[in-house]
Structure 1
Amino acid sequence: MGKELIAAIKAKLAAMKKVEASGFTDQSKAAEYFREKEFILEEIVKTLEAVSDGQEAETEALKATVKSLRDELKTKAAYPKELTRRELCYNIGRGIAAAWARNHKALADLSFSPNFKADNWTNPRDVSWGEKGWNVNEKAALGSPMGNMATNDQYLINPIYETEIMTDAAKKSVMMGLVRHRPMMGPSIFLPTRDRGGVQLHWLTAYGQQITGSKPQGAQRVELKAYTLAGYIPWYDEFEEDVFIDLGTMFMEEFTEAYAVEFDRQCLLADDDPFTGAMAVDGAEEVEIAGADINGLTWKDFRDAVYRVPAEERKDCAWFLHETVLNHIANIEDADGRPIWRHPTEAMPGKLDLYPYHEVSIMPQIGAVENDTAFAIFMNPKRIQHGNRKGIEIKKFDGTTESMEYGELFLRFRKRDGFLVTRPSGNMVILKTKP
């Protein structure tokens, strides 16, 4: 028993040698990473206490190793090396180039990891690089190869870099910073969603008094599913070391721009494609403007719509519309030719008739709004649930017609997400033109 425990401890300590002190651009992310490593060392110490007698020499040596690692961990946690933007782009570009050339050693150095050809993606924590190539940690015996790695060409980006990429995407998306995010460990999760009035309160004024009243409204269970989103980025150049920065910058820009637009589309406009956004969801109340068409729109239409939502919900709501619709409202003039909403000398207000608004470029432009067309929505964005399954996968694509005819190559990326609009009835109002 003692030899088996010591062998297991040695395997964990070998994995601990991978503690990284670089790659962080945020102190909180670095602290979380080092807390996880400290937890592993605590487990090792507890395991050493269970080792039977007769193993004192090896036990003391392992304890000394643990102490040394703890001291090193404290030093690295106190002074984590932060990456500059240039270094981040360089490392991402170098990782993409290594994936293209199947340079497994370089991928391992950058903490990229191979991914199985399956829906259940590999957890980067389960993979390590050893003398024999890629190994699976804990789930299999140390040194066991993970499939046929000679032909594998799908890789997961370093999770630290993934976080930075998604931070960039959030800056380009309107909805990403507003909706509710939930981590997903599987393809679907069931969420309890409770509307107002779910809890009943009763005063008891005498000992033993019976609690009376109606049965409280229970939480509604809804399923949030995640699907895989794939995209292709084309380029022509060969990847040498002097273009790693440009390659990493290009990937981040191309990915974040495309992903931000698709994120907003799934939150707002998607109609069973594959999710249903707030503008197309069943249950949201539709309110027609007073004028004959979009040209008759006034700020009063917005005021009439907001009062369809209860006050307790309304305080967390905002308008979502295209900037051309907002511009139309801002330029409505009175009989003397003066703007009703704001004067030329005033800064653009941050609220639309007392409620905040968000300009979303994918929403219908005023020139494209026809009869019987929805063009704005008033809601609490937290009603939209976003399921985030960690991992951005990259894969080389060169066996295409474009590659053979024009020499154009493609990099495919994949990410998994889920979107769900919860309890729209009574909580969301859509503004539309008349039929």
Structure 2
Amino acid sequence: MQQVLTAIAELKDIIAGTTEKVASYEQKIEELTKAFKAHEERIWKLEKGATPARVSIGDRRVTWDAEQRVEFLRWFQGALTRTLNEGTDAEGGYLVPEEFRPELLRLVEKYGLFRKNARVIPMTREEMKIPKLASGVNVYWPGEANAITEASANIFGQATLTAKKLAGYITASQELVEDSSLDVVDLIVTVFAEAIAKEEDRVGFKGDSSGTDPFDGVLNASGVNTVTMGSGDTTYDKVSYDDLCDMISAVKNTEGCVWCLHRTVLGVIRKLKDSNGHPIWASASGGDPATILGYPYLVSEVMPSTADGSQADKPFMFFGNLKYALLGDRKKITVGTSEHVKFAEDEIAIKVVERIAINIAVPAAFAVLKTAAS
């Protein structure tokens, strides 16, 4: 019996020691948990301290923290040309998956040529005046003791940049936003950028302020050198080798010059021959060269096409240095959202806005090819 009692006493001592160790481990676990939470809070504060995203909701501008930005990216899914809904594939239904990971295939057109090649100038106010050389000066050979003829003081001019708003607006159904598992944020940003870049190209290359455009592009700018095609050449496909040579000759300084034209016009130029009957392009066995008559070329879908309707007496391609065209950046692309504008329809309204200015500062640096009137 004594042995049993002794064994029980020893067992109690072991249990007491084990309990003490368990309590010590529990205390350490609690301390580690508190330390982990403290680190987590510090990281969260750093994330919240990051540059906030600003968006428009209704008539207010609000600042979003890191968590809200993540939530915004989760629901900001849709397409950008019309109201999106889940039931119609062409209007966003493609973004709603059935069973498998959705894959989106699309053709991206190449835009943004004007911004890439023009001189981009940051603007800090609505209007900015850029000094430019309007004319040269004359020098003389005065005789001995004769007065030197004074040059004209009116050699300087100003190119004025006046910012205008370019904007887009769509709505997206809540069902599409909630049910789409495809992360289309990059796609949305790309499509927005492409739409704006396309419009910048259109206005920069062929804008016409006598109509609804806010700026004149190169084709319609006052003061550009105009080369008119021969009598009877009233369509773009009548462009000739001589016309191209005349365009080059019309520009005094051809350094940095490029051609800008539509792909269908380029197709016509591919077939042109010089006065000796040799193709000005490349041999049939060679690939497309990087130049036309020694100068690079830009192909833009916004330029006039041979498939256009009325073509008589119209400018359709140009040659020149686009660094003499100015693009003023007053406000970068911003995105605003609101759940209140279409509250009754349970839709989210999305708008995109930028403010830019375009000015062909030195029109003499360009030669425009124009069809004959008859």
Which TM class, normalised by the smaller chain length? 0.5 to 0.7
Q: Note if contact 1:291-1:297 (Cα within 8 Å) is conserved in structure 2.
A: no
Q: Note if contact 1:306-1:378 (Cα within 8 Å) is conserved in structure 2.
A: yes
1:113-132 correspondence to structure 2 within 5 Å: 113=54
Letter in 2 for 1:432: K
Local SS of the residue matching 1:177: helix
CA deviations on 1:100-130 (whole Å, 9 max, x unpaired) are xxxxx99975621356999xx99x9xx897x
2:204 corresponds to which of 267, 271, 274: 267
Local SS of the residue matching 2:268: helix
CA distance in 2, matches of 1:338, 1:379: 25
Q: TM-score, normalised by structure 1?
A: 0.54
Aligned to 1:428: 366
1:301 corresponds to which of 243, 267, 288: 243
Local SS of the residue matching 1:175: helix
1:370-381 correspondence to structure 2 within 5 Å: 370-381=311-322
Gaps of 5+ in 2: 1-45, 66-107
Local SS of the residue matching 1:316: coil
CA distance in 2, matches of 1:364, 1:274: 19
How far the C-alpha of 1:219 sits from its partner, in A, is: 2.1
Aligned to 2:283: 343
CA distance in 1, matches of 2:284, 2:191: 38
- Determine whether 1:412 maps to 2:351: yes
CA deviations on 1:359-405 (whole Å, 9 max, x unpaired) are 1110111122621121111221112111112443322245567x756
Aligned to 2:326: 385
CA distance in 2, matches of 1:343, 1:322: 22
1:284 corresponds to which of 216, 220, 224: 224
- Determine whether 1:194 maps to 2:118: no
CA distance in 2, matches of 1:176, 1:258: 13
Local SS of the residue matching 1:412: strand
Q: Note if contact 1:290-1:297 (Cα within 8 Å) is conserved in structure 2.
A: no
1:59-78 correspondence to structure 2 within 5 Å: none
CA distance in 1, matches of 2:299, 2:232: 24
Aligned to 1:175: 114
Q: TM-score, normalised by structure 2?
A: 0.62
Q: Note if contact 1:172-1:256 (Cα within 8 Å) is conserved in structure 2.
A: no
CA distance in 2, matches of 1:107, 1:390: 26
CA distance in 1, matches of 2:221, 2:366: 10
1:102-117 correspondence to structure 2 within 5 Å: 109=50, 111-113=52-54
Q: Note if contact 1:233-1:254 (Cα within 8 Å) is conserved in structure 2.
A: no
1:257 corresponds to which of 191, 194, 206: 194
Q: Note if contact 1:187-1:225 (Cα within 8 Å) is conserved in structure 2.
A: yes
CA deviations on 1:159-209 (whole Å, 9 max, x unpaired) are xxxxxxxxxx997311111101111111111110114636x8899xxxxx9
Structure 1 pair 264/399, CA: closer, same or farther in 2 (3 Å)? same
Q: Note if contact 1:290-1:296 (Cα within 8 Å) is conserved in structure 2.
A: no
Local SS of the residue matching 1:364: coil
How far the C-alpha of 1:303 sits from its partner, in A, is: 0.6
Structure 1 pair 201/113, CA: closer, same or farther in 2 (3 Å)? farther
Letter in 1 for 2:218: A
2:164 corresponds to which of 213, 217, 227: 227
Letter in 1 for 2:157: Q
% identity of equivalent residues: 26
CA deviations on 1:294-350 (whole Å, 9 max, x unpaired) are 34322221111221121xx22222211101101111024699998453211112112
Aligned to 1:69: none
Local SS of the residue matching 2:288: coil
CA deviations on 1:124-166 (whole Å, 9 max, x unpaired) are 9xx897xxxxxxxxxxxxxxxxxxxxxxxxxxxxxxxxxxxxx
Q: Note if contact 2:280-2:293 (Cα within 8 Å) is conserved in structure 1.
A: no
Structure 1 pair 170/414, CA: closer, same or farther in 2 (3 Å)? farther
Structure 1 pair 351/335, CA: closer, same or farther in 2 (3 Å)? closer
Larger Rg: 2
CA distance in 2, matches of 1:108, 1:117: 25
Aligned to 1:45: none
How far the C-alpha of 1:420 sits from its partner, in A, is: 1.1
Aligned to 2:29: none
Letter in 1 for 2:207: A
**How many corresponding residue pairs?**
276
Letter in 2 for 1:350: A
Structure 1 pair 387/345, CA: closer, same or farther in 2 (3 Å)? same
Greater share of residues in helix: 1
Q: Note if contact 1:197-1:217 (Cα within 8 Å) is conserved in structure 2.
A: no
CA distance in 2, matches of 1:215, 1:362: 41
Root-mean-square deviation (CA, aligned residues, Å) is 4.0
Gaps of 5+ in 1: 1-104, 130-168, 204-208
